[in-house]
């Protein structure tokens, strides 16, 4: 590649760099902010799955802890540090990809990079910073590596190892994601059976990384296996939705247009397109296996299908009417997610007005607690304003299950939730407790449930709650304000400086 031929790479880096300042202004959603909050508390000494009861595996929070350490060392907001880290990861992904498509013409490479920037910045704008966003970014060079091997190429071990290591960070975020490298390996085996080798640089790195991560969980986060996995199996199913409800996001339009388009067009000739589409289908399988129907969980399926279509159309000859007709339908599959992403815009919390009204008289460093099942009742608004969160839970996600059924195991879990909450309140008394409503999809099928009554059934909770008096009503929230003094127990967990109002991460 000559210096003149390097303009597509240089231009893509400049476009990425230009995108960072406006991205630093976008709001991050409650899940991403919770990740950063956990990382900050872990930096202060809190123990994940002991002091903070998070339902997801630890890798994402170890990464968040590193981001918080970096943010504090350079005195920068953790949110901005995360956004820049994602931008850097996109740049690394493009760099690795460029080594695998250097034989393409300059204009083709530029089209590829433009598509990658669209898929990794524009399409995920509403859910920027989610785990699925990250795995989308790091899957792209891995798909390109498999495509190179499908073409009979032999990328260097150094390049393959780097791509494998980056991809391992993404695939390890959820166990469902293992479907992707397995399916790509099957594609490679079926396509090049005579030349296929199981032990290659990227597969060795993936396997070693998986074993290392598993060992780290058992060594550094054993309570995830001992405590959280049983609790999630016991009580998290209220967030599951019917199959039909999972078909209510933009990926459906993408897959409909793409499905009909490829049915008319035929199987893609581009090896890169093949690898991207196989990975997309596996991520779609992961979406359905999770049974939650959250929009962000379909991000990698949508993004990789988008890229797969771009790669095929870019190199298509379109000799027949059938191919031209198919390509036209595929073009609609490209436009659909872009239109949806632009129309959706950045993250917006529909409960923001009520949450801000309920806390407008509180200042940075004041403590607020919501008793409800939905984390977006108060997150990320509390984090943005520097309000202190006292609970070990993101939200009381188990409440709908307690309302729907009972068992000895659930009763024991309910007692633990009440007792833990009483302890958290005593350790860091909220200036205001907001009791939320039983509205939302996780509450479907529940006729009535007294959230406050559930907690007050515990004598320890009732004892601390006596120090509160009923306050104002704020839409879905009933407020209770601290009027008395609560004795602080001795065994309270370590707290970050946010308990004094210095969050350093808003």
Give the DSSP per-residue string, 1-58: --TGGGHHHHHHHHHHHHHHHHHTTSPP-HHHHHHHHHHHHHHTTPPBTTTB--SS-S
* Pair of tokens at residue 407: 């068992």
Residue 1 pLDDT exceeds 80: no
DSSP 8-state secondary structure symbol assigned to residue 370: E
Q: Nearest 10 degrees: CA dihedral of 72, 77, 83, 86?
A: 0
Residue 338 pLDDT exceeds 50: yes
Q: What pLDDT score does 504 carry?
A: 37
Residue 329 pLDDT exceeds 50: yes
- Give 59-107 pLDDT, tens digit per residue: 999 999 999 999 999 999 999 999 999 999 999 999 999 999 999 999 9
- Give 96-108 pLDDT, tens digit per residue: 999 999 999 999 9
pLDDT bucket at 281, cuts 50 / 70 / 90: very high
Q: How many percent of the chain have pLDDT more than 70? A: 97
By the 8 A CB rule, do 369 and 390 touch?
yes
pTM of the model: 0.94
Q: What pLDDT score does 356 carry?
A: 96
SS3 at position 385: coil
pLDDT bucket at 498, cuts 50 / 70 / 90: low
pLDDT bucket at 503, cuts 50 / 70 / 90: very low
* Pair of tokens at residue 445: 């099928």
pLDDT bucket at 186, cuts 50 / 70 / 90: very high
- Give 293-309 pLDDT, tens digit per residue: 999 999 999 999 999 99
pLDDT bucket at 4, cuts 50 / 70 / 90: low
By the 8 A CB rule, do 64 and 41 touch?
no
Q: What pLDDT score does 496 carry?
A: 78
Give the ranges where 118-227 is alpha helix by DSSP (H): 131-150, 157-171, 179-191, 201-220, 222-223
Q: What pLDDT score does 494 carry?
A: 87
- Give 418-436 pLDDT, tens digit per residue: 999 999 999 999 999 999 9
What mean pLDDT comes out for the span 114-131? 98
């Amino acid at each position: 590649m000559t210096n003149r031929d390097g303009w597509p790479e240089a231009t893509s880096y400049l476009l990425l760099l230009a995108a960072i300042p406006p991205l630093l202004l976008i709001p991050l959603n409650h899940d991403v902010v919770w990740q950063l909050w956990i990382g900050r508390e872990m930096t202060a000494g809190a123990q994940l799955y002991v002091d903070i009861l998070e339902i997801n595996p630890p890798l994402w929070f170890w990464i968040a802890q590193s981001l918080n350490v970096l943010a504090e060392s350079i005195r920068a907001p953790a949110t901005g540090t995360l956004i820049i880290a994602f931008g850097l990861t996109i740049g690394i992904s493009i760099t690795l990809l460029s080594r695998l498509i250097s034989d393409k013409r300059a204009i083709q490479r530029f089209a590829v990079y433009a598509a990658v920037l669209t898929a990794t910045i524009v399409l995920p704008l509403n859910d920027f910073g989610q785990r699925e966003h990250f795995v989308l970014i790091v899957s792209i060079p891995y798909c390109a590596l498999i495509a190179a091997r499908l073409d009979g190429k032999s990328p260097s071990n150094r390049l393959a190892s780097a791509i494998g290591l980056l991809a391992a960070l993404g695939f390890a975020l959820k166990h469902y994601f293992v479907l992707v490298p397995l399916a790509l390996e099957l594609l490679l085996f079926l396509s090049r059976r005579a030349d296929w080798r199981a032990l290659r640089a990227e597969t060795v790195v993936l396997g070693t990384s998986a074993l290392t991560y598993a060992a780290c969980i058992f060594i550094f986060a054993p309570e995830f296996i001992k405590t959280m996995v049983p609790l999630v199996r016991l009580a998290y199913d209220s967030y599951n939705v019917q199959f039909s409800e999972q078909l209510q996001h933009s990926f459906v339009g993408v897959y409909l247009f793409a499905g009909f388009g490829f049915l008319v067009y035929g199987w893609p000739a581009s090896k890169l397109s093949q690898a991207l589409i196989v990975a997309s289908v596996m991520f779609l399988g992961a979406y359905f296996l999770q049974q939650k129907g959250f929009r962000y969980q379909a991000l990698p399926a949508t993004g990789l299908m988008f890229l797969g279509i771009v790669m095929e159309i870019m190199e298509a000859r379109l000799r027949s009417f059938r191919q031209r007709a198919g390509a036209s339908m595929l073009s609609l599959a490209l436009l659909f997610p872009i239109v949806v992403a632009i129309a959706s815009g950045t993250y917006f919390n529909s409960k923001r007005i009520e949450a801000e009204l309920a806390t407008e008289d509180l200042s940075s460093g004041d403590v607020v607690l919501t008793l409800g099942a939905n984390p977006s009742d108060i997150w990320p608004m509390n984090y943005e304003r520097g309000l202190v969160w006292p609970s070990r839970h993101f939200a009381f996600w188990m409440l709908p299950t307690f309302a729907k059924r009972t068992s000895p195991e659930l009763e024991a879990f309910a007692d633990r939730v009440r007792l833990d909450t009483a302890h958290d309140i005593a350790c860091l008394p909220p200036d205001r407790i907001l009791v939320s409503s039983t509205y939302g999809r996780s509450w479907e099928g529940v006729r009535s449930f007294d959230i406050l009554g559930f907690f007050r059934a515990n004598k320890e909770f009732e004892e601390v709650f006596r120090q509160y008096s009923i306050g104002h009503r704020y839409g879905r929230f009933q407020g209770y304000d601290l009027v008395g003094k609560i004795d602080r127990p001795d065994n309270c967990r370590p707290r970050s400086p946010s308990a004094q109002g210095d969050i350093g991460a808003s």
